Amino acid sequence: MASLPVGAMLSSVGTCCRAVIDQQEKWEMIADLMGGTLAMRQAGTRWLPKEPKEKDEVYAIRKSRSFLYNVFKDTVDRVKTKPFTRQVKLTGKLPERLKPLEKNCDGLGSSVTDFAQQLLGYAAQHGLVHVVPEFPSTDATKNAKTEAEQNPTPYWIVVPATELIGWETETINGHVTLSLIRIRERRVVRKTDSFEETCVEFIRVYTKTEWAVYEPVKDGAEKYRVVGQGTHTLGEVPLKTYYVNRTGFLTADAPFEELAWMNIRHWQSSSDQNNILRIARVGILFLKGFAETETRDITVGPNMFITSTNQEADAKFVEHEGKALGAGENDLKSLKEDMQILGLQPFIQRHSGATATGVAVDETRANSEVEAWCRALEIFIRELFAISCKWIKLTLDAEFKIDINTDFGISVQAVEYMRLLLEAYRAGACDRMTLLSEFRRRGVFHETVKIEEVAERAAEESMLGLDGGEGGGSSKIGGIPNFGGRGGAATA
């Protein structure tokens, strides 16, 4: 069994294990995309390369004109939002001591619904997320009776995949189990003699019976010292992991990794497009037959003029032909459609009972990936209640269950109906309001969306040339119109 070297100054406790190092580039990309335009600009050349011999000031201007069309974050937000338009339901008997968890399961005021939404959001980013079941600290000087009277309630701490930096395992009766974990904690620390704050990375370590917190110490080399330690009575390493795309023990692939890379490509292509558009909008002044002294202090403007003593002198603007602009615009449109299609895939319901003759099956037997993730999340949250019961020497009722709403998927059959409706709309067989009403009825729009406002915004953007579509002011995304683009109310 692993034990903690709590009496030593360590330089390795903050070192990431190989499994974490292998994922860091992908996690950096995901973090930057989730951070939006500002984070992508701050990432600089990591995702927006400099051109050969491009000056720093020129690159800075190009970067400042780059804006992120953030389909990745929109998709993650959609995944973590749709299942929780209805509160999570708890059914069955819950021990009285654990009932506070329903409204405050993390000690920060998060209800079970809020907590589940956090978990699904992190899992949609990284493929997994961890939770540490914890116990409030009690005064060790008090006797057992007084401590029992306090009845402290366990709570749960969310640990994103990026913060679990290392672990050790052992095999018991053929099962791989954790023997030690290391978690990075970022804390804002205020100096005792001022209001100045700094961010400090502590490392929290757990074994099956012990815990310790290490603080970094700088004395020429990075080292850590113990600032807190103790024991716990759970009898196992307090860590549970929720997966949506598992690849191994405590490892997973980001379910939207390909979408993330495609969003990076769009970021770069969009930056190029904005840059070349700026160049194309400003003509290049061409001067012929002017002496060097005549061109030295030329100022170009509507109220300025140029003179020359040479009768053959000529001045004119050379403008960009614009062919590259069209090619770039087409590339961006294609990328937008591809990203939207990828973002919709986890919501498309897949029928498991299709026949060889292609006969339609009952849509209630269909399941989407996000629905499967929600079913797994229900089981996972129940496990958290169970381990909390175990810690306080209670047993969770066998009938206790978690119910997360999954009535949000788009069936393959519904997608086909929407394609037919779109064709009818384009052929003039139905009006826009009828089209939008049918889309809302089939779940493309949330039931609270006001389709009149959607239609009005779509018409405005069509007139402004913002839709990028073909006729009727709508852009086709995988057979489904995206009225108003990212800023509109259309959702999958």
Give 424-462 pLDDT, tens digit per residue: 877 788 887 887 787 777 666 656 677 787 777 766 655
pLDDT of residue 469: 41
Q: How far apart (Å, rounded) are the C-alpha atoms in residues 191 and 207? A: 31
Indicate the burial class of 331 (C-beta count within 10 angstroms; 0-12, 13-18, 19 or more). middle
Three-class SS state of 159: strand
pLDDT in tens, 96-107: 999 999 999 999
Indicate the burial class of 260 (C-beta count within 10 angstroms; 0-12, 13-18, 19 or more). buried
Q: Could you state, in order of their start, the residue ranges of all structural domains in the chain? A: 1-281+321-408, 284-318, 410-492
pLDDT of residue 416: 62
pLDDT of residue 89: 96
For 10, which DSSP code?
A: B
Determine contact, residues 240/133, Cβ cutoff 8 Å: yes
Long-range Cβ contact pairs of 364-373 (< 8 A, separation 24 or more): 366/409, 366/411, 366/412, 367/409, 368/409, 368/410, 369/255, 369/345, 370/79, 370/82, 370/83, 370/346, 370/406, 370/408, 370/409, 371/406, 371/409, 373/79, 373/120, 373/123, 373/124, 373/244, 373/346
Q: Which of 58, 31, 237 is nearest to 132 (CA)?
A: 237
| Beta strand spans in 249-378 (E) | 251-252, 284-288, 314-318, 348-351, 366-367
Segment 114-125 mean pLDDT: 97
Q: How far apart (Å, rounded) are the C-alpha atoms in residues 336 and 485? A: 9
pLDDT of residue 490: 34
pLDDT of residue 357: 41
pLDDT band at 35 (very low <50, low <70, confident <90, very high): very high
Q: How far apart (Å, rounded) are the C-alpha atoms in residues 125 and 218? A: 33
Give the residue, 289 or 353, on which the prediction is more confident: 289
Q: How far apart (Å, rounded) are the C-alpha atoms in residues 110 and 101? A: 9
Q: How far apart (Å, rounded) are the C-alpha atoms in residues 362 and 372? A: 18
Which of the residue ranges 241-245, 343-347, 349-353, 401-405 would you say has the lowest mean pLDDT? Answer: 349-353
Structural tokens at position 191: 């100096």
Segment 396-423 mean pLDDT: 77
Q: Give the C-alpha distances (Å, rounded to integers) separating 395 from 44, 45, 208.
A: 53, 54, 20
Three-class SS state of 480: strand
Q: Which of 142, 120, 13 is nearest to 75 (CA)?
A: 120
pLDDT of residue 478: 34
Segment 190-208 mean pLDDT: 89
pLDDT in tens, 353-386: 444 444 343 444 447 899 999 999 999 999 999 9
Segment 286-297 mean pLDDT: 72
Helix H or strand E segment including 416: helix 412-426
pLDDT of residue 64: 93
Residue 26, pLDDT above cutoff 60: yes
pLDDT of residue 476: 35
Determine contact, residues 488/446, Cβ cutoff 8 Å: no
Q: How far apart (Å, rounded) are the C-alpha atoms in residues 400 and 387? A: 13
Three-class SS state of 211: strand
pLDDT of residue 306: 73
Residue 84, pLDDT above cutoff 60: yes
pLDDT of residue 343: 84
Determine contact, residues 127/254, Cβ cutoff 8 Å: yes
pLDDT of residue 443: 60
pLDDT of residue 10: 55
Q: How far apart (Å, rounded) are the C-alpha atoms in residues 108 and 95? A: 21
Residue 17, pLDDT above cutoff 70: yes
Interacting residues of 416 by C-beta distance below 8 A, sequence separation 6+: none
Q: Could you tell me how many helices (H) and strands (E) the chain has, helices first? A: 14, 19
Interacting residues of 255 by C-beta distance below 8 A, sequence separation 6+: 124, 127, 244, 245, 346, 369
Q: Which of 204, 25, 266 is nearest to 126 (CA)?
A: 25
Segment 172-199 mean pLDDT: 90
Determine contact, residues 417/453, Cβ cutoff 8 Å: no
Give the residue, 209 or 481, on which the prediction is more confident: 209
pTM to 2 decimals?
0.73
The mean of the pLDDT values for the chain is 80
Give the residue, 292 or 104, on which the prediction is more confident: 104
Segment 199-206 mean pLDDT: 92
Residue that has been written with the tokens 């819950």 in this structure = 94
Residue that has been written with the tokens 């757990």 in this structure = 206
pLDDT in tens, 299-346: 665 556 677 777 777 776 565 565 556 666 777 788 888 888 888 888
pLDDT band at 166 (very low <50, low <70, confident <90, very high): very high
pLDDT of residue 135: 80
Which of the residue ranges 21-25, 195-199, 327-331, 350-354 would you say has the lowest mean pLDDT? Answer: 350-354
Q: Which of 344, 395, 338, 340 is nearest to 370 (CA)?
A: 344
Which of the residue ranges 26-35, 118-127, 240-249, 436-445 would you say has the lowest mean pLDDT? Answer: 436-445
Residue 121's φ and ψ, nearest 5 degrees, are -65, -45
pLDDT of residue 318: 60
